[in-house]
Structure 1
């Protein structure tokens, strides 16, 4: 057979290229700590793809290109130098991807409440830098926390956006997969003439703490039950409700609904339905658990016949809401309580307070030794100074991703967890790894707001202590002064009903203009 008779090879169709980038943190502007680049634990290159196993289902459909993603424990404002370093690396890595050909889609993996020194809308700034590299034709789909913020400017830069539908957040991976699935569907199944989805955006003048908007109870449960109903409407791709982030003081902090899809009337109707439902329920939102002062919560936990274990949320310094985790106020109150002075008294576990020097002393002394150490209030001493205690070293553990090293000090009948770096305690193994048995304790005090699922299932009794700190549940006393007013609950008498009609946000390759 001659060469001319050999059939020409048929080129395989080009798969759409989908890049992945993002930085995620929940940032309290009322917390004095600062967040550096290392706190994001950045993941680079194709490790970004590997960290999300659900992406394997799309590997034959799109060409996935990881750049850099980072997820930090909530905390204080991000240092500008840290942000510039991480954002610059994202831009550099995307530039290398673009050098091989166009980027068709991008999964923007963010939280939505990142505050950077000198920036009021950090996610929009980051996406603007990304858009400058990938160009206006790239379809961008974001996955977000429902405690994030969506400004008109961010909605303008995005094509698709979705957020969690549960609080506590039991649907993180589901939300991320939905964002990618929506992106792939738009890239691969658009009908002729379908260019970009329509986005309907409604700002709602309400700002509530997560502990007042938990989807475990109504009205948030009923509100979020409407989200999949709206999403199921003909012509709708996704529906989402953001509660917003309550512990930052920025003009963008408020509730928002966004509905995306191909049918303008459907997305408008869906966004307005959800916004009205949120607004109409504003007075009905209450705390997810019984509340009280810290003293009242301890009294309830110690009352005769109180169920065991009895959990108390030391909510004002919750590190997973943005608290410094460095405050000693709660532990100081516990150690001063007469019920816990005797080693044979009611067992109370307290988690936790950072104290690198205290940890070093306990590690050097070893389990079983008696030591006197000082911990906490290294940066957050507004309500209490460092706490000094003498006790027996109960446990030592090295290698934790967040804490680095943990020790447990028994002081009377209190088992105080001290850490080299701050850490949230959300899982049973966080305690059992330290030779603690929370199920057998009388009282467990955790720096947390609503209890995460494992703790919630374990707790026989629970109260939310309204303690001071950078994520104080009493928003009015925190001192917001930059949020847009009027805003519930800061304002309860509005001069006129809020404008809850949907604004159609133009695609990023068209000017934003004035939304009406």
Structure 2
């Protein structure tokens, strides 16, 4: 019976974001769920949309002795603090060491972690793991599609297996593929491997695999992978200011170099297609009012305040535009614990003066002072049913629905990307009945909102996750890399 160590430590780092990730953030987890240890990982993660879930199910079916260690994640943000990384990485590695000899290691990581003291959080973690277990134990790591895969990560892991959908509805399936790769190495064999790096970055708003170019590129990836090799195309997270912020193509198994070269050619040919239309808040609301339909809400992505990309989910540009236009609709989530507490203190039906959002000091954004009515209150706990968060118990903390004119605002006490209709329902809003829905998300919302949306728009209100990577103040990117599709080549000052 193979002894397989399991663990996870996930964070997507936006080095331009306003707030860092502390140990307490990982302990609580926000929308990702609290930190888990030992067998509670098997209980909590066996049937959720996460890579470790697929590995658990495969391991049980294959008769492995699963040895769970530590699993934690938190919302994207600025750097992981040194204290958080050292405590979590130290405990994870020590728990693996304490297991004694193992036949393999499966890790669920993100692939875009930057810490206060290490550009490459995952590379550092894998280096410590290799120092602890040696070079001969097979290590498989599952990554987010937005991983900034570094040379160290590629060298230290035997296989890196990444999601192929955005919204990420295939996380468990990815874990299953990774576990199968691990099983194939338990006899001591290792696959040949190849890595290629395109010369440009792409904006996350145009990486959705529901549409081209990403849809066609991942179909090409699946064709090249076939049944005899693992392959990944990581579109990267274009908000991490270090030299290896990049897209990557990974191939393992027979003819790995040929497959990687073919995928690189396909990606390069599609560079011009990674562009799209972005509205200002005012123009986006006007367009939504024009497009209103009986066949479902117009859904607007407030993409630059996406907490799934490191923002704090508390900017007010879209709120101001909706109120100024007198437009009816709903927006979520506004991360503002103080406003949520004030709403609970006031009670349902109360009308009072609130100061909403604007706490992060984002250029061009300020708190919005307004009279609002408390329409509904909740403790913020519910089980997500949409494809992205599927099965997770969400703990948004004290939450409220505040009405300002014709606009309803979901105010919460924990950060999580608005990617499940239950986030509206938990405060009494029926999303299908709203003419306009504004979601603080870039793409993940589409997993649950596409089926009800009559139209989809992207707006760029002031926020820390620039929809165009070329607008970020880069200083350390690799010289010559194009900042965005068809964008300028980076040159250090």
TM-score, length basis structure 2: 0.89
Question: Which residue in the other structure is 2:459 paired with?
Answer: 465
Question: Which residue in the other structure is 1:201 paired with?
Answer: 195
Larger Rg: 1
More displaced stretch, 144-153 vs 290-299: 290-299
Q: Distance in 2 between matches of 1:393 and 1:71?
A: 32
Question: Which residue in the other structure is 1:252 paired with?
Answer: 244
- The RMSD of aligned alpha carbons is 2.0
Shift of 1:306: 4.8
For the pair 1:291 / 2:278, whether they are aligned, the reply is yes
Q: Deviations over 1:103-136 (max 9, x none)?
A: 1111111011111112111101011111222221
Q: Distance in 2 between matches of 1:52 and 1:227?
A: 28
> In 1, are the aligned partners of 2:58 and 2:180 still within 8 Å (CA)?
no
SS for the counterpart of 1:409 is strand
> In 2, are the aligned partners of 1:27 and 1:113 still within 8 Å (CA)?
yes
Question: Which residue in the other structure is 1:166 paired with?
Answer: 165
Change (3 A) 1:305 1:420: closer
Question: Which residue in the other structure is 1:412 paired with?
Answer: 405
SS for the counterpart of 1:141 is strand
SS for the counterpart of 1:77 is coil
Q: Distance in 2 between matches of 1:44 and 1:380?
A: 36
Shift of 1:251: 0.9
285, 291, 302: which one aligns with 1:314: 302
Q: Distance in 2 between matches of 1:305 and 1:119?
A: 48
Q: Distance in 2 between matches of 1:304 and 1:227?
A: 36
Change (3 A) 1:166 1:325: same
> In 1, are the aligned partners of 2:145 and 2:236 still within 8 Å (CA)?
yes
475, 478, 483: which one aligns with 2:469: 475
Shift of 1:493: 8.8
Q: Distance in 2 between matches of 1:312 and 1:304?
A: 12
Question: Which residue in the other structure is 2:30 paired with?
Answer: none
For the pair 1:22 / 2:8, whether they are aligned, the reply is yes
433, 447, 461: which one aligns with 1:440: 433
> In 2, are the aligned partners of 1:76 and 1:324 still within 8 Å (CA)?
no
Q: Distance in 2 between matches of 1:215 and 1:29?
A: 25
Question: Which residue in the other structure is 1:58 paired with?
Answer: 59
For the pair 1:274 / 2:260, whether they are aligned, the reply is no
Change (3 A) 1:269 1:311: same
Question: Which residue in the other structure is 1:49 paired with?
Answer: 42
> In 2, are the aligned partners of 1:33 and 1:380 still within 8 Å (CA)?
no
Q: Distance in 2 between matches of 1:208 and 1:132?
A: 35
Q: Deviations over 1:131-171 (max 9, x none)?
A: 22222111000111111011111111000111111111111
TM-score, length basis structure 1: 0.85
Within a 5 Å distance, the mapping from 1:394-405 to structure 2 comes to: 394-400=375-381, 401-405=394-398
Q: Distance in 1 between matches of 2:349 and 2:17?
A: 35
For the pair 1:36 / 2:25, whether they are aligned, the reply is no
For structure 1, the 5+ residue unaligned runs are: 1-14, 341-345, 496-516
Q: Distance in 2 between matches of 1:210 and 1:357?
A: 31
Question: Which residue in the other structure is 1:504 paired with?
Answer: none
Within a 5 Å distance, the mapping from 1:486-501 to structure 2 comes to: 486-489=480-483, 492=486
Question: Which residue in the other structure is 1:142 paired with?
Answer: 141
How many corresponding residue pairs?
A: 459
> In 2, are the aligned partners of 1:355 and 1:374 still within 8 Å (CA)?
no
> In 1, are the aligned partners of 2:340 and 2:398 still within 8 Å (CA)?
yes
Shift of 1:456: 1.3
Q: Distance in 1 between matches of 2:257 and 2:221?
A: 14
> In 2, are the aligned partners of 1:240 and 1:259 still within 8 Å (CA)?
yes
Within a 5 Å distance, the mapping from 1:76-87 to structure 2 comes to: 76-87=78-89
Q: Distance in 2 between matches of 1:399 and 1:439?
A: 20
Q: Distance in 1 between matches of 2:487 and 2:411?
A: 46
Question: Which residue in the other structure is 2:334 paired with?
Answer: 353
> In 1, are the aligned partners of 2:58 and 2:179 still within 8 Å (CA)?
no
For structure 2, the 5+ residue unaligned runs are: 27-33, 48-53, 382-393
Q: Deviations over 1:233-261 (max 9, x none)?
A: 6xx43011111111111111111111111
Q: Distance in 1 between matches of 2:409 and 2:307?
A: 17
Q: Distance in 1 between matches of 2:405 and 2:147?
A: 42
> In 2, are the aligned partners of 1:212 and 1:285 still within 8 Å (CA)?
yes
Q: Distance in 2 between matches of 1:403 and 1:30?
A: 25
Change (3 A) 1:43 1:294: same
Q: Distance in 2 between matches of 1:130 and 1:440?
A: 51
For the pair 1:151 / 2:143, whether they are aligned, the reply is no
Shift of 1:434: 1.1
More displaced stretch, 108-117 vs 423-432: 423-432
> In 2, are the aligned partners of 1:402 and 1:422 still within 8 Å (CA)?
no
For the pair 1:325 / 2:327, whether they are aligned, the reply is no
> In 1, are the aligned partners of 2:195 and 2:251 still within 8 Å (CA)?
yes
Shift of 1:180: 1.0
> In 2, are the aligned partners of 1:245 and 1:254 still within 8 Å (CA)?
yes
> In 1, are the aligned partners of 2:395 and 2:414 still within 8 Å (CA)?
yes
SS for the counterpart of 2:7 is strand
